[in-house]
Amino acid sequence: MIERQLRPRGIRDERVLEAMFEVPRHEFVPMASIEAAYEDRPLPIGESETISQPYIVAAMTQAARIQPGEKVLEIGAGSGYQAAVLARLGAKVYTVERNFRLAELARARLAGLGYHGIEVIWGDGSEGYAAPAPYDAILVTAAAPRVPEVLKDQLAEGGRMVIPVGDLRHQDLLLIARRGNQFTTRVLDPCQFVPLIGTHGWPEKEGWVQ
Ligand code: SAH
β-strand 49-51 against 43-46: which pairing, if any? Answer: antiparallel
Whether pLDDT at 207 is above 70: no
pLDDT reported for residue 76: 98
Q: What is the mean pLDDT of residues 120-128?
A: 98
Residues forming beta bridges with residue 179, ordered by sequence position: 182
One-letter amino acid at 68 equals P
C-alpha to C-alpha distance for 136 and 159, rounded to whole angstroms: 4
pLDDT reported for residue 205: 72
Residues in contact with ligand 1 by the CB-under-6-Å rule are: 49-52, 75-76, 78-79, 81-82, 96-99, 102, 124-126, 141-142, 194, 196-198, 201
pLDDT reported for residue 210: 41
**Residue 160 falls within a domain, yes or no?**
yes
**Residue 95 falls within a domain, yes or no?**
yes
Percentage of the chain with pLDDT > 90?
A: 95
Whether pLDDT at 21 is above 60: yes
pLDDT reported for residue 191: 95
Domain count, the chain: 1
Task: Report cis status (omega within 30 of 0) of the bond before 195.
Answer: no
Domain that holds residue 74: 2-202
**Residue 185 falls within a domain, yes or no?**
yes
pTM of the model: 0.96
Whether pLDDT at 97 is above 70: yes
Catalytic residue among 48, 52, 79, 126: 52
Q: Specify whether 48 is catalytic.
A: no
Q: Which atom of ligand 1 is nearest to the CA of 45?
A: 8
**Residue 50 falls within a domain, yes or no?**
yes
Q: What string of DSSP letters covers the chain?
A: -IIIIITTTT---HHHHHHHHHS-GGGGS-GGGGGGTTSSS-EEEETTEEEPPHHHHHHHHHHHT--TT-EEEEE--TTSHHHHHHHHTT-EEEEEES-HHHHHHHHHHHHHTT--SEEEEES-GGG---TT--EEEEEE-SBBSS--HHHHHTEEEEEEEEEEEE-SS-EEEEEEEEETTEEEEEEEEEE---B-BSTTSB-TTS----
pLDDT reported for residue 104: 97
Ligand 1 centroid distance, CA of 33 (Å): 19
Whether pLDDT at 208 is above 60: no
CATH number, domain containing residue 14: 3.40.50.150
Nearest CA to ligand 1 atom 16: 76
Is 154:134 a contact under the CB 8 Å cutoff? Answer: yes
Confidence of residue 48 (pLDDT cuts 50, 70, 90): confident
Is 66:78 a contact under the CB 8 Å cutoff? Answer: no
Confidence of residue 206 (pLDDT cuts 50, 70, 90): low
Whether pLDDT at 81 is above 50: yes
Closest CA to 11 of 70, 52, 60: 60
Percentage of the chain with pLDDT > 70?
A: 98
Per-residue pLDDT reduced to its tens digit, 159-194: 999 999 999 999 999 999 999 999 999 999 999 999
Phi/psi class of residue 48: alpha, beta or left (left: φ > 0; alpha: ψ in -120 to 50)? left
**Residue 177 falls within a domain, yes or no?**
yes
